Amino acid sequence: MFGFLKSSLPAEGEQTPTRSWAERLKAGLARTRAVIAAPLASLFTRAKIDDELLDELESTLIAADCGVAATQGLLDELKARVKKDKISEPAALKGVLVDLLAQALTPLEAPLFLDPAHRPFVLMVAGVNGAGKTTTIGKLAHRFRGEGKSVVLAAGDTFRAAAREQLIAWGRRIDVPVISQEGGDPGAVVFDAIASAKAKGVDVVIADTAGRLPTQLHLMEEIAKVRRVIQKAEPSAPHEVLLVLDATIGQNAIQQVQAFDKAIGVTGLVVTKLDGTAKGGVLAAIARVCPKPVRFIGVGEALEDLQPFSARAFAEALFA
């Protein structure tokens, strides 16, 4: 049965963070930084900048999953800067690399804007199973509530009972209503959520969808159908189509972005689990091959560990 499920239970783990975002970002990227910073530290102490140093730098960046194209682009720009600025000391390369990486990642830096002209503002959230999709939805809802907005969650993953239960648990934790249905059509759940939000003057609807692998073409069509249902409920929606990516998959993220974009028109990315991988360089590959805006990145389990993406802060954290 459709309905609102609410609870005033206190949110778990919502203590005031003791570390700044910069500190949490640096800690969250520790595994990737270990792949990059440690090898580079020895390179920066070399006596000169030569082909051997550049080759080792290339291997280091590829090991962090920056991808061949992005790595080559960074190296080409680095060589140009070395020549232009007459840089001879390897130690000076660190600052240049930070600048170049930040520059390469800048196209991804585009914070999510909840346009008040759309009420409700409808977010459709997609991703493969295990990417952290439902947790991301809970954290986003918490964030929007902190900004003074009312939020409704739509449990559109009706194929996996655990997903529905997990979303309901998040709703209880952060005191946000969840519209759900046991089994049935996911489009109907999302349609009902939007209708209810309109009737109640709610600011934001976040619609969960069932996890899909890009290779499951018939299932990808089902998620495309949910998008069409959203448009029937509100012709201007969805106003944002977020794809949640698990950073631990590295270069496979490129294929996911391309496949989901073809099916549902991805407008933004959320990159999760950066704290659990040494493949944080994949953002450079995304910027080079399929530059979709990265709305948020996640570096931990805490509610505050999901934050808007900053190209400069990310680059500095990697090389710190």
**pLDDT value at residue 101:** 95
C-alpha 281/C-alpha 284 separation (Å) is 6
**pLDDT value at residue 220:** 83
Q: How many distinct helices (H) and strands (E) make up the chain? A: 12, 9
pTM above 0.85, yes or no: yes
Q: Which helix (H) or strand (E) holds 44?
A: none
To the nearest 10 degrees (0 to 180), the angle between helices 282-289 and 68-84 is 90
Q: Which residues of the chain have pLDDT under 50?
A: 1-16
Adjacency order of strands within the sheet including 204-208: 4-5, 178-179, 151-154, 204-208, 121-126, 240-246, 268-272, 294-298, 306-308
Record the tokens describing residue 147, joined without a space: 């900004």
C-alpha 212/C-alpha 177 separation (Å) is 25
C-alpha 242/C-alpha 209 separation (Å) is 11
Pairing outcome for strands 294-298 and 306-308: antiparallel
**pLDDT value at residue 245:** 96
C-alpha 22/C-alpha 111 separation (Å) is 17
Amino acid, res. 7: S
**pLDDT value at residue 16:** 46
Record the tokens describing residue 115, joined without a space: 């346009």
Backbone angles phi, psi at 127, to 5 degrees: 155, 165
**pLDDT value at residue 79:** 94
Q: Name the DSSP class of 169.
A: H
Burial of residue 52 (number of CB atoms within 10 Å: 0-12, 13-18, 19+): exposed
